[in-house]
Amino acid sequence: MSIMAGSRPDGTRPGAAVEEPRPAVAAATVKESVPRRAAKAGKAGKVPLRVRWRRDRALILMTLPVIALLLLFNYVPLLGNVVAFQDYDPYVSSNGITAIFHSPWVGVEQFSRMLGDPLFWSATKNTVVLFVLQLVLFFPVPIALALVINSVIRPRVRAVAQAIMYLPHFFSWVLVVTVFQQILGGAGIIAQTLEEHGWSGFDLMTDADLFKYLVTAQAVWKDAGWGIIVFLAALSAVSTDLYEAAAMDGAGRWRRMWHITLPALRPVIALLLVLRVGDALSVGFEQFLLQRYAVGAGASEVLDTYVWNMGIQNGDFSYAAAVGLAKGLIGVCLVLGANKFAHLLGQQGVYKK
Amino acid sequence: MTPNAASSGLSRRSFLASTAVATAAVAGGVPLLAACSDSGSGGSREGATAGKAADKLLPTYVASTVAKPDIPSKNGSSAGYTSKVDLATLASSVPTRLGTGAPIEVLAPLWGTPPKPGCAYYTALDAAAGTKITWQNQDGNTYGEKLGAVLASSSIPDMVVVPSWELVGKISSAVTAKFMDLGPYLAGDKVKKYPNLAAIPSDSWRMSIFGGALRGIPMPAAAVPNIVPFYRKDVFDKKGYTVPTSADEFLSWAKEATSAKAKVWACGDMRWSAAGIFGVRPAGSLGWNIGDDGKLTYRIEHPEYLEHLEWVRKLFAAGVVHPDDKANTGDPRQRFTSGQILVYNNDMSSWYGKTAEQAQSNPDFEISGMDYFGAGGGSPTLYAGQPAGIWSMIRKDASKETVENALAAANFAAAPYGTKERMFVDYGVEGTHYTVENGAPVKNDRGIQEVNNAWVLLAAPAPYTAHPDLPDITRMQVEWQQRQGAFVKKTSTYGMNIVEPTRYATLSSQFEQLEIDFVRGNKKPSDIQQAISTWKSSGGDKLRGWYKELLDKNGSGN
- Among B393, B517, B534, B537, which would you mutate to test the A interface (most chain A Cβ atoms within 10 Å of its Cβ)? B517
A3-52 residue pLDDT tens = 333 333 343 433 333 344 444 444 444 444 444 444 444 455 578 889 98
Tell how strand B382-383 and strand B159-163 pair up. unpaired
Q: Tell me what ipTM this predicted complex has.
A: 0.74
Beta-strand relationship, B296-297 and B434-437: unpaired
Residues in CB range of A15: below 8 A, 6 or more apart: none
Give counts: helices (H), strands (E), chain B. 22, 19
Amino acid B45: pLDDT: 62
**Which of residues A261 and A350 earns the better pLDDT score?**
A261
CA-to-CA distance for B275 and B271, rounded, in angstroms? Answer: 6
pLDDT exceeds cutoff 90 at A275: no
Q: What is the pLDDT of residue B314?
A: 96
Comparison of pLDDT for A249 and B502, the residue scoring more: A249
pLDDT over 70, % of chain B: 91
| HSE of B129, CA atoms in CB hemisphere, 13 A | 33
* Tens digit of each residue's pLDDT (9 = 90 or more) over A148-158: 888 877 889 98
B6·A177 Cβ contact <8 A: yes
CB B281, CB B289: distance < 8 Å: yes
| Number of other CB atoms surrounding residue A201 within 10 Å | 11
Distance from the Cα of B6 to chain A's closest Cα (Å) equals 7
Which pLDDT score, from 0 to 100, does residue A6 have? 36
- Cα B170 to Cα A13, A93, B158, B395, B536: the distances in Å are 57, 13, 21, 17, 22
Whether residue B332 contacts residue B341, with contact meaning beta carbons closer than 8 Å, is answered with: yes
Query: Which of A235-244, B44-53, B226-235, B286-295 reaches the highest mean pLDDT?
Result: B226-235
| A195 interaction partners in chain B (CB closer than 8 Å) | 260-261
Mean pLDDT of A337-350: 80
| pLDDT (0 to 100) of residue B94 | 85
pLDDT in tens, B312-324: 999 999 999 999 9
Average pLDDT on A153-182 reads: 90
Burial degree of B210 (CB within 10 A; 0-12, 13-18, 19+): buried
Q: Which residue ranges make up each domain of chain A?
A: 109-344
Query: What gap in Å lies between CA B265 and CA A344, rounded to an integer?
Result: 59
Q: What angle do CA B487, B49, B532 make, to 5 degrees?
A: 60
pLDDT on residue A7: 38
Mean pLDDT of the region B54-74: 88
**pLDDT tens track for B511-548:** 988 999 999 999 999 999 999 999 999 899 999 999 99
Q: Do A315 and B153 touch (CB under 8 A)?
A: no
pLDDT higher than 60, residue B21: no
Three-class SS state of B239: helix
What local confidence, expressed as pLDDT, does residue A71 receive? 94
Q: Which residues of B touch A181 (CB under 8 A)?
A: 324, 327, 329-330
Instruction: Evaluate whether A324 touches A318 at the Cβ level (below 8 Å).
Output: no
Mean pLDDT, rounded, for B299-311: 95
Each residue of A184-234: pLDDT tens digit?
988 888 988 888 888 877 888 888 889 999 999 999 999 888 888 888 888
Q: Using the beta-carbon criterion (under 8 Å), do B42 and A298 form an inter-chain contact?
A: no
The mean predicted confidence, pLDDT, of chain B is: 87
Cβ A293–B520 below 8 Å, yes or no? yes
User: Which among A126, A293, A308 is the top mutation candidate for probing chain B, defined by the most B β-carbons within 10 Å of its own β-carbon?
Assistant: A293
* pTM of the entire predicted model: 0.80
Q: Are B15 and B31 in contact (CB under 8 A)?
A: no
Taking an 8 Å cut-off on Cβ atoms, the answer to whether A96 and B505 are in contact is: no
Give how far A290 is from chain B: nearest CA, Å. 5
B137-140 CB contacts, 8 Å cutoff, 24+ apart: B137/B108, B137/B109, B137/B110, B137/B453, B137/B454, B138/B107, B138/B108, B138/B109, B138/B110, B139/B2, B139/B4, B139/B109, B139/B110, B139/B111, B140/B13, B140/B14, B140/B16, B140/B17, B140/B20, B140/B109, B140/B110, B140/B111
Average pLDDT over residues A284-291: 90
Question: Which residue is closest to A178 within chain B, CA to CA?
Answer: B329
Amino acid at A81: N
Closest CA–CA distance from residue A141 to any residue of chain B (Å) = 28
- The per-residue pLDDT of chain A, averaged, comes to 82
A 191-230 near B (Cβ less than 8 A): 191-192, 195-196, 200-201, 203, 205-206, 208
List the one residue out of A125, A118, A39, A110 whose CA is nearest residue A325.
Answer: A110
Which candidate from A174, A196, A206 shows the least CB-CB separation from B520?
A206
Closest CA to A80 of A322, A333, A327, A326: A322
CATH code of the region A109-344: 1.10.3720.10
Residue type for position B444:
N
Q: pLDDT value at position B85? A: 78
pLDDT digits over B243-290, tens only?
A: 999 999 999 999 999 998 899 999 999 999 999 999 999 988 899 999
What confidence tens digit (pLDDT) does each residue in B160-199 have?
999 998 887 778 778 888 999 999 999 999 999 999 999 9
Question: Over B459-504, what HEC string results?
Answer: CCCCCEEECCCCHHHHHHHHHHHHHHHCCEECCCCCCCCCECCHHH
Structure confidence at residue A353 as a pLDDT band (50, 70, 90): low
Quickly list DSSP for A115-168: HT-HHHHHHHHHHHHHHHHHHHHTTHHHHHHHHHHHH---HHHHHHHHHHHHGG
* pLDDT range class, residue B81, cuts 50, 70, 90: very high
How many Cβ atoms sit within 10 Å of the Cβ of residue B66? 20
Q: Of B33, B17, B73, B204, whose CA–CA distance to B477 is shortest?
A: B73
Question: How big is chain B, counted in residues?
Answer: 558
Helix H or strand E encompassing B103: strand B103-110
